[in-house]
A and B are shown apart, each in its own frame.
Chain A
Amino acid sequence: MFQLPTKMTPILLQGITTEMGAVHVERALAYGGNIVAGTSRDRSVKLYADIPVFGSVKEAVRKTNPAISVVFSTPARALQDTEEAIRARIPTVICTTEHVPLHDILKMINLARKYQVTLIGPSSPGIVRVGECLAGSIPAHLFPKGNIGLIGRSSSLIYESVQQLAEVGLGVSTCLSLGASPLVGTSFASVFDSFLADKETRALLVIGQLTGDFELGLAEAYRKSHRKKPLVVYIPGQTIQGALHIPLLGTESAIPEKIIAEKKAALEKAGCIWISNATELGRTVYNQLKSV
Chain B
Amino acid sequence: MIIKEYQVKKLFKKEGIPLLKGQVAYMPHEAEQVAEAIGGSAWVVKAQVSADGRSSAHFANQKESGPTGICWANSPQMVAALSEQMLGHRLMTNDTPDGHIVQRVYVEEACFGQAEYRLSLRVNFLTQQLSLSVYTAGNIMRQYELPEYKLTTERINTIVSHLRLSGKKAKEMKDLLRHLMNLFQQYQAVAVEFDPVWETEKGLVVLDGRIIFNDDALFRVPELKALRELEAGQERQMIARRHQFRYTKFNGNIACLVNGIGLSQATVDLIHQNGGRVACLLDVGTEPSRDAVARALKLALSDPGVDGVFVNIFGGVTRCDIIVQGLLSAAGEILAGLPIVVRMDGTNANIGRRLLFESRLPFTVVKGMGEGIKEIIRQVKGVS
Contacts and interface: CB of A to CB of B under 8 A. Distances in A.
Most buried by B among A20, A158, A160: A160
A9 interface: no
Given A110-B148, A251-B126, A239 B317 contact: no
Interface residues of B, number: 55
Contacts of B126: 212-213, 250-251
Given A98-B285, A102-B216, A250-B122, A139 B190 contact: no
B270 A137 contact: no
A131 B316 CA distance: 17
Interface string A87-115: 00000000000111111101101100100
Contact of A244 (B219, B248, B370): B248
A138 B185 contact: no
A157 B147 contact: no
Contacts of B379: none
B144 to A, nearest CB: 15
A210 interface: yes
B268 A75 contact: no
A125 B316 contact: yes
Given A100-B216, A183-B128, A106 B262 contact: no
Contacts of A106: 123, 128-130, 149
Interface residues of A, number: 60
A190 to B, nearest CB: 12
Given A207-B262, A250-B124, A23 B270 contact: no
Contacts of B266: 157, 160, 234, 236, 278
A180 B272 contact: no
A159 B286 contact: no
A209 interface: yes
A155 B262 contact: yes
A169 interface: no
Given A102-B217, A237-B265, A183 B123 contact: yes
A243 interface: yes
Contacts of B95: 242-243, 246
A99 to B, nearest CB: 5
Given A103-B185, A125-B317, A247-B212, A98 B268 contact: no
Contact of A102 (B2, B214, B264, B316): B214
A248 B260 CA distance: 16
A108 to B, nearest CB: 11
A129 B117 CA distance: 53
A188 B22 CA distance: 49
Contact of A101 (B129, B217, B270): B217
Contacts of B302: none
B346 interface: yes
A240 B252 CA distance: 13
B344 to A, nearest CB: 11
Nearest to A243: B95
Contact of A109 (B94, B128, B217, B260): B128
Nearest to B278: A239
A76 B59 CA distance: 43
Contacts of A278: 266-267, 269-270, 369
A182 interface: yes
Contacts of B214: 101-103
B314 interface: yes
B71 interface: no
Nearest to B283: A156
Contacts of A174: none
Contact of A239 (B124, B130, B268, B286): B268
A138 B219 CA distance: 28
A247 B2 contact: yes
Interface in A102-155: 102-104, 106-107, 109-110, 113, 125, 137-139, 142, 152-155
A238 interface: yes
Interface string A257-289: 000000000000000000011110000000000
A236 B269 contact: yes
A210 B262 contact: no
A209 B273 CA distance: 18
Contact of B347 (A113, A139, A157): A139
A278 B272 CA distance: 12
B270 A279 contact: yes
B148 A156 contact: no
A252 to B, nearest CB: 9
Contacts of A183: 123, 125, 128
A212 B128 contact: yes
A202 B259 CA distance: 30
B185 A163 contact: no
B123 A180 contact: no
A139 B263 contact: no
A154 to B, nearest CB: 3
A67 to B, nearest CB: 24
Contacts of B267: 278
Q: Which of A23, A98, A110, A236 has the most CB of B within 10 A?
A: A236
18 contacts: A100-B216, A101-B216, A102-B217, A110-B129, A138-B316, A153-B262, A156-B318, A157-B266, A159-B315, A159-B316, A180-B260, A210-B265, A236-B264, A236-B266, A237-B269, A238-B269, A250-B126, A278-B270
Q: Which 5 pairs from chain A and chain B are nearest by CB?
A: A154-B262, A157-B262, A236-B265, A101-B217, A156-B260
